[in-house]
Amino acid sequence: MRVSKIGKALSKLYVQVLIGIVAGVLVGHFYPDIGSQLKPLGDLFIKLIRMLLAPIIFASVVVGIARMNDLHAAGRVGVKAVVYFEIASTIALAVGLVIVNVIKPGSGMNIDPAHIDSSAISSYTHAAQQHGMLDFFMSIVPNSIVGAFANGDILPIIFFSLLLAISLARLGPRTAPFVDMLDMFLQGMFGVVRIVMYVAPIGAFGGMAFTIAKYGIGTLASFGQLMLCLYLTSIFFVVVVLGAVMRMSGLSLWKYLRYIKDEIFITLGTASTEAVLPQMLIKMEKLGCSRPVVGMVLPTGYTFNADGTAIYLTMASMFVAQAMNIHLTIGDQLLLLGVLLLTSKGSAGVAGAGFVALAATLASMHKIPVSGLVLLLGVDRFLNEARAVTNLIGNGVATIVVARWEGALDMNKARAMLNRTDSSIDALESADEVPVDRTPPKDAVVRSHMH
């Protein structure tokens, strides 16, 4: 009996990923020469997922909006999503700013800016020069559609998908065969995702082994206060802020976290929310959110709703200032908050994007030397895990909120799914005979709320 229970537990993806993470830490610490060579395992898993992102996002957005048959409803969903994104990001930035001022993790380091070698961050500072608001808006429109798909640029793909979906919706019923074909293609891509997820534990193992081998557990000790500050703040934001949002939506945060536990552990091991975007699209639709809302809100949230990155940006900026004994007045900090509201946008789920946004913020402030980012370079990978997991949870909550706000969330289905036991959830998600609902939203569920 005990053997069968152990075997059943080991068959669960989140258990396998957790084992991979622990094994990676042990290998990286005790066998750093081996661990430093395991980075390709993590990179390969991320590449497998990125290979699927462009077609999945394209098909999800086009199918969802084209089947709404109401362009005003599509526009309304977009506006509501942007409003929520801005409110959530502002709260995250403010929470990070308050807590870093209370704990002061950088105080006492007494770093002299003149003695810092900034050559190690030259690639980030160069990328930050192309991170202005004008550059951001220009990057939304791709030079070519083929180029956007080839490079996996999420925002241009979403932009093109929106235009195509609107065009198909205006053409009416005669586009139905093409939309149905895209839908079948989307289900096929989700099938490929299920296959790719079998190697997620290996990817988590390789990524963690490399990180520990390269930076060492000693790095964690020397920057322990900053890491503890960020992790505790992220937990506070998820439990208190997102917990309150979920209660207002009529659902339990804890049950939702259990529902996406596989994705949380994969994100923790790979430090990238991109690794679980396809799975999250499937899960949010199974939770009862209508396909148009999921297709619009979740991919867009990866760019515009990075709650964890927002917390990281305020804390990291203030940490560098405190470490260099640079005093920032209340006015300076409010200005920092305003700049971060702009630079935090466009920080997609890619590892390192937050570091570029941070470099752009410091460069535009002229108060804190950009060279101070060297202090964060060794520990950034560990900080990235906290912000990536927070981003993941926040984007799922955003999808639920917008769906609920729009009246496009089946509450009975959501509660039934969240109240399931772990075993029944796993059985449902692994069963190929229970596909994602392929039908457009029923009139009784959605359209009554859209007119």
**CATH (domain of 237):** 1.10.3860.10
Q: Which of 320, 357, 315 is nearest to 339 (CA)?
A: 357
Helices and strands: H and E segment counts in the chain: 25, 0
Q: How many CA atoms lie less than 13 Å away from 64 in the CB half-sphere?
A: 29
The H or E element containing residue 385 is: helix 380-406
Token pair belonging to 317: 């900026």
Mean predicted lDDT score pLDDT of the chain: 79
DSSP 3-state of 347 = coil
Token pair belonging to 169: 């919706």
What's the full length of the chain, in residues? 451
Extended strands (E) in 175-240: none
Cα 360 from Cα 126, distance rounded (Å): 9
Amino acid at 225: Q
Cα 270 from Cα 199, distance rounded (Å): 12
pLDDT score recorded for residue 235: 94
Phi then psi for residue 327, to 5 deg, are -85, 125
The number of folded domains in the chain is: 1
Extended strands (E) in 191-283: none
Number of CB atoms found within 10 A of residue 165's CB = 26
Token pair belonging to 194: 């299920």
* Domain extent for 324: 2-450
pLDDT score recorded for residue 371: 75
Cα 57 from Cα 281, distance rounded (Å): 9
- pTM comes to 0.76
Mark 63-79 as b/e (b = at least 16 C-beta within 10 Å). bbbbbbebeebbeebbe
Phi then psi for residue 289, to 5 deg, are -75, 135
Cα 306 from Cα 93, distance rounded (Å): 10
Contact 357, 136 (CB under 8 A): no
Q: How far lies 342's CA from each of 297, 335, 365, in Å?
A: 19, 11, 12
Cα 293 from Cα 300, distance rounded (Å): 11
pLDDT score recorded for residue 75: 81
Cα 296 from Cα 162, distance rounded (Å): 9
**Distant-in-sequence, close-in-space partners of 91: CB < 8 Å, separation ≥ 6:** 237, 241
Amino acid at 67: R
pLDDT score recorded for residue 255: 93
Where the chain has pLDDT below 70, the residues are: 1-5, 7-9, 69-70, 109, 112-136, 215, 217-222, 342-356, 364-365, 378, 421-451
pLDDT score recorded for residue 337: 82
Cα 148 from Cα 305, distance rounded (Å): 21
Cα 425 from Cα 237, distance rounded (Å): 26
Q: Which of 226, 368, 363, 245 is nearest to 307 (CA)?
A: 245
Cα 147 from Cα 145, distance rounded (Å): 5
